Amino acid sequence: MPRRWNPLSGIFCNQSTETLLPGLGCKMLKLKMDDRIIQSSLSIGGKRLLLNRLCCGKQERRKGCFSNPGARKTPFAGDHRSLFSLTCVFASDRNRSYHLGVIKKEGESGMNRKRIANRLAVLALSLSVLFSMESICPALTRRDDVTNAQLKAFANEHRYGGFVSAYWLGSGTLISPNWVITAKHLLNSGQANIYFLGASRSSPSNQHHYHPSLDVALMKLNNPITNIEPVSLYDLSFGSEAGQDAVMMGAGYPGSGSAGEKCCAGTRRAGQSRIINASSSFAHTRFRRPGSGALPLEVGGALGDSGGGLVLNVSGEDALAGVQSYTTVNSPQSGYGVQTGYVRTAPLNAWITSIATDAVLVGTTPPPPAVPTCNFNDDLLCDAADLDKMYADTGYDLVSGVSAAGLEQFDLNSDDVVDNLDIDKWLTMAALENDYATSHRRGDTNGIGNIYPETRFVDLFDYSVLSGKFDPLGLHGPHLWKDANFDGDGDIDLADYNSLTGNFNFAGYEPASTTVPEPSSLAICCLALVGAVSVFRSSIARNG
């Protein structure tokens, strides 16, 4: 079966292009070159432009470089009459044409692809302003008697399908709060982004795992998506996918069965189709005409739907059965009769779940959420060393607080921020873990995690530690809990002193009835303690 990869391999995309258009991307989708004309396709911010003129020398007028009948004058057009000795490029998006500018002067050495690519990168920057204001169309090609609104509404019933903006624009499916599955050919080593419904339902991804032989990849989300229910994975125990009616998800080009695909990608849509066959690695659907067995929301795959999910219903539960990889060539492209190829996920379940460990198979009970623990350093103890790890891993910034992304083990109260509230939570959890009925207290430099109740005091020993380590500017830090850093900011200042005095108690944490020394009393007590130690050492020296 002939295959047309969506999208095709890039030719002109390079580092300069990506730098000039961050987040938009500049992709060359096709290239046809002879000694006179290059015809190609340039995608910027989801808009596909056909590079329909690249002319040499005085052939321009005869070739139509400046008299393209579909071209309209734009701010980029310039004075055509003065440019007859220059090479120029027009680009059109089927509705209008843009004059991209001059590539080289006549008489320069032959048409150099690298030079053209670099020039296009600069020219594309100007066009990006236009495209940032363009609306983005829906996805998938539909039967002619179905509206785009129907497919968009159907997509809202399957919210785990999203739009992927990466090296190529495409689609993806949420299989757990932390993982999206998509097509491998959409990604490179750079950052990708996945968009679902609303700004709170999107996340960048910098960690990608590629299947060694098939067009499938897993994206680890930097920020877990917790407000969309992921889809389960289809399992072979429920039989072959062939012959089953499925939901097709995508965010690619829209269009109709009679007209084929039309620009542009970016809106989530969903439709229906029947799986006509399933081989060892691939499953296929065919876009059928009304009256020939077509389903009510029959659709076909189009450019930009790559990575989208193929979903089956198993006893009322959605299950992902495939990842869109390619479509067959037909006319019109993506019109009636187009076959869409999916990589089957069921044979890959072991590989998927070995990486996305929180993804689940359909019909199974999801694993219980991880129970927060106060033991961060895996030493079987909940003690001050765990607080020190929290301090260090969060950059000693717990007074201001830091995002919990990548630091989830420290986010004990599940508010997506690691801060002093999590210190309070840890003190309670650690006390329970150590068989105490009441929480550990700030100010206790030596009793945290200690199994002996007689050490659970905030007393003069703790005052002496604080006074000896007092460092309000943090010049000698960062300091640990045992140094009297009770708020995780790396210094020892009046905030730490206030924490200590608030819990001061010679008799132990309960009841807190002992009078707390004033700062002047603290200084006197500390001096007295230091003096007593000095006398003791002198006595030992004399008697030694």
**CA angle 534–537–543, rounded 5-degree value:** 140
Vertex 337: Cα angle to 304 and 171 (nearest 5): 15
Please, what is the angle between helix 460-469 and helix 519-543, to 10°?
90
Distance between CA atoms of residues 408 and 237, nearest Å: 35
What SS3 state is found at 418?
Answer: strand
Cα distances (Å, whole numbers) of residue 463 to 254, 309, 445, 499 = 71, 62, 9, 11
Model pLDDT, residue 53: 33
pLDDT at 447: 80
CA distance 445 to 503: 12
Structure tokens at 535: 């006398």
- The answer to whether 274 and 244 have CB atoms below 8 angstroms apart is yes
Mean pLDDT in consecutive groups of 10 residues from the start of the chain, 544 residues = 28 31 33 28 39 33 32 27 28 34 35 44 35 35 80 82 76 91 83 65 84 92 86 92 90 70 65 91 90 86 82 92 83 77 94 94 68 79 90 93 90 91 92 81 83 73 92 92 93 94 77 40 47 48 51
- Between CA 295 and CA 335 the distance in angstroms is 15
Pairing of the two strands 317-327 and 232-233? parallel
Which residues on adjacent β-strands are paired with residue 438? none
Tokens of residue 542, six digits = 């004399």
CATH 2.40.10.120 domain span(s) along the chain: 140-355
pLDDT for residue 192:
78
Q: What is the DSSP letter of 290?
A: T
List of residues 6+ apart from 415 with CB closer than 8 A: 404, 421
Distance between CA 477 and CA 472 in Å, rounded? 10
Joined together, the tokens standing for residue 278 give 């399933």
Q: Looking at residue 88, what is its pLDDT? A: 33
What is the CB neighbour count within 10 angstroms for residue 433? 15
Indicate the SS3 state at residue 260.
strand
Q: State how far the Cα of 175 lies from the Cα of 299, in Å rounded to an integer.
A: 23
Would you give the DSSP letter of residue 471? B
CA distances 121 to 17, 22, 271, 465, Å, are 5, 12, 37, 62
499: Cβ contacts below 8 Å, ≥ 6 apart: 442, 443, 486, 487
- CA 318 vs. chain centroid, Å, equals 23
- Structure token digits, residue 420: 């002093």
The secondary structure element, H or E, covering residue 176 is: strand 169-176
Pairing of strands 217-220, 232-233: unpaired
Q: Which residue, 476, 489, 494, is CA-closest to 418?
A: 489
Cα separation, 410 vs 513, in Å, equals: 33
Q: Which two three-digit tokens encode residue 153?
A: 């509404």
Closest among 477, 392, 485 to 445, alpha carbons compared: 485
- Can you spell out the DSSP letters for 239-267? --STT-EEEEEE-S-EEETTTEE-S----
The alpha carbon dihedral of 443, 446, 449, 454 has a sign of negative
**Are 349 and 362 a contacting pair, CB within 8 Å?**
no
Q: Are 123 and 89 in contact (CB under 8 A)?
A: yes
| Per-residue pLDDT at 119 | 43
Quote the distance between the C-alpha of residue 271 and its chain's center: 25
Range 140-355 has CATH code 2.40.10.120:
yes
Is residue 218 within 8 Å of residue 356, measured between CB atoms? yes
